[in-house]
Structure 1
Amino acid sequence: MKRFLTASVAVLMLSGAAAGASAQDWRNDHRNDGRGSAYDQVRRDQDRLADRREARYDRRDDRREAREDRREYRRWVKGQRLDARYRGNGYYVSDYRRHGLRAPPRGYRWHRVDNQYVLAAVATGLIASVILANH
């Protein structure tokens, strides 16, 4: 009985030492130290760089859109020519009295552009008058 007890204790001690050795190897493998494998680390670095580049391009796009928005709004002045894109029927104000505008002279018509009412010549687009809208 004493021999059986001694043998079982020896087996338990050896199995515990073997388990400890395998656990020690597992921790020193450099794959499971919280960072993952070297491949995973490289992938994370690449993803982080890609995110930075994407954020930089997003900022550039925002600045470009802001510049385009500034360029798009224009303060019209008497004597300028109204752009051809604003002389179409989409900007034409047919019910000028409802907007508090006077009747346009012959050869002119009112256009609503950028919250401004512009009286421009139909043929040339020469601006005769500009009134700011109160909307």
Structure 2
Amino acid sequence: MKRILTASVAVLMLASGAGAASAQDWRNDHNNNGRYDSRDRAYEQGRRDQARHEARQDRREDRREYRRWVKGQRLDARYRGNGYYVSDWRRHGLRAPPRGYRWQKVDDQYVLAAVATGLIAAVILANH
């Protein structure tokens, strides 16, 4: 009985080892019988180029997000909408905006900008 169990375990172990080897061979042999094709290199190079491009895009977007606004610059149109508008300027300790200007809160900064042109008249850091 013991011999039969030992023989069956040995057969199972051999069978599982052969299965792993054949799976590995299949991975290496799936394209042109194991030859490395120039199309494979081009595809891999394209993927690397795409990954580099996406990383550069992410860095550019990060830089744009943490911009320091300065008097005399123009506030981007995307920050001039009502989503950034500060209507309760007294509560934030800000002075009353002159006619034609309004306070916008952008990136933890209060920016006093002209409504029509976006020209920045003052920038104050927000206190948390």
TM-score between the two structures when normalised by the length of structure 2: 0.62
What is the percentage of aligned positions where both structures have the same residue?
A: 64
1:118/1:37 CA distance change after superposition, 3 Å: closer
Alignment correspondent of 1:77: 70
- The answer to whether residue 118 in structure 2 is matched with residue 125 in structure 1 is yes
Separation in structure 1 between the aligned mates of residue 27 and residue 110 of structure 2, nearest angstrom: 62
- The answer to whether residue 49 in structure 2 is matched with residue 62 in structure 1 is no
1:92/1:32 CA distance change after superposition, 3 Å: closer
Is the contact between residue 111 and residue 120 of structure 1 (CA under 8 Å) also seen in structure 2? yes
- Find the residue that maps to 1:34 and give its secondary structure: helix
1:93-108 aligned within 5 A: 93-108=86-101
Larger Rg, first or second structure (1 or 2):
1
Which deviations, in whole Å up to 9, do the C-alpha atoms of 1:6-58 show, x marking residues without a partner?
xxxxxxxxxxxxxxxxxxxxxxxxx7683557444224989xx8899767754
1:17-96 aligned within 5 A: 34=21, 36=23, 38-43=25-30, 57-58=50-51, 60-96=53-89
- Find the residue that maps to 1:89 and give its secondary structure: coil
What's the C-alpha RMSD, in Å, of the aligned pairs? 3.8
Is the contact between residue 35 and residue 41 of structure 1 (CA under 8 Å) also seen in structure 2? no
Deviation at 1:133, TM superposition (A): 1.0
Bigger shift: residues 98-107 or 60-69:
60-69
1:36/1:127 CA distance change after superposition, 3 Å: closer
Alignment correspondent of 2:7: none
Q: How many residues align structurally?
A: 105
Deviation at 1:106, TM superposition (A): 1.4
1:35/1:77 CA distance change after superposition, 3 Å: same
Bigger shift: residues 95-104 or 66-75:
66-75
Alignment correspondent of 1:109: 102
Runs of 4+ in 1 over 4 A off after TM superposition: 35-38, 49-60
Separation in structure 1 between the aligned mates of residue 88 and residue 22 of structure 2, nearest angstrom: 70
1:2-21 aligned within 5 A: none
